[in-house]
Chain A
């Protein structure tokens, strides 16, 4: 941000043109019977050509409606894809747990522990297996955090195939057809007045 270049400006202009294209779209919020929280977390490993940091993202649904999401570059350089996925899983877990506390404060009953869907088998195994695989301290903290919540049955981590991974859209660029398919799944619709 402190040394903008012409190519940064080209990218920003593209975002503004994208914003223009979304002017008459909005999130469809419908009344539903489900009070269940479920989340998706995903990462795209070493994606950045500038510094080889990974992109991570999560998406949380409350019933049928997506209520919270994030896309961002991970702060540290990660040396394995499972570790990048695991870091994304830890961020998603923190968000889901916070939302769960909020719902409890609002007296919303929760019957089931929220499910988080992750498309990396290694990361789902790590969250369930009490044997410690990881060998560096920052992974250890994430590991213990997610493991602890799984062990307390506050959340469940499940595997989802990449084609059904809704948080994928927050981790890398997509061609138009696949990108707009995510709009449909995230319930982004044209505004009625448009």
Chain B
């Protein structure tokens, strides 16, 4: 088996999301609507 468990855990640790709720797909299949958007407050 080839896996990237360590890399995944490193990235989640860096994003402080190690205890987030997992989802089964990477993108939502429902169509996204374009809304007026705000700049992300902390780009770093």
Interface residues, chain A, with chain B CB atoms under 8 Å away:
3-9, 11, 13-29, 49-50, 173-176, 179-180, 189, 191-192
Contact = CB atoms under 8 A, between A and B. Distances in A.
A143 B11 CA distance: 40
Contact of B39 (A3, A13, A27): A3
A8 B27 CA distance: 12
29 contacts: A4-B39, A4-B43, A5-B37, A6-B37, A7-B35, A11-B27, A13-B20, A14-B23, A14-B26, A16-B11, A16-B17, A17-B17, A18-B23, A18-B24, A19-B11, A20-B20, A22-B8, A23-B5, A24-B5, A26-B1, A27-B1, A29-B1, A29-B2, A173-B25, A173-B29, A175-B29, A176-B24, A179-B25, A192-B1
Given A5-B39, A27-B1, A27-B3, A20 B12 contact: yes
A37 B2 CA distance: 20
Contacts of B12: 16, 19-20
Contacts of B11: 16, 19
Interface of B: 1-5, 8-9, 11-12, 15, 17-18, 20-29, 31-32, 34-35, 37-40, 43
Contact of B28 (A9, A21, A173): A173
A45 to B, nearest CB: 16
A40 to B, nearest CB: 19
A189 B21 CA distance: 20
B32 A16 contact: no
A20 B37 CA distance: 27
Nearest to A178: B29
Contacts of A6: 37-40
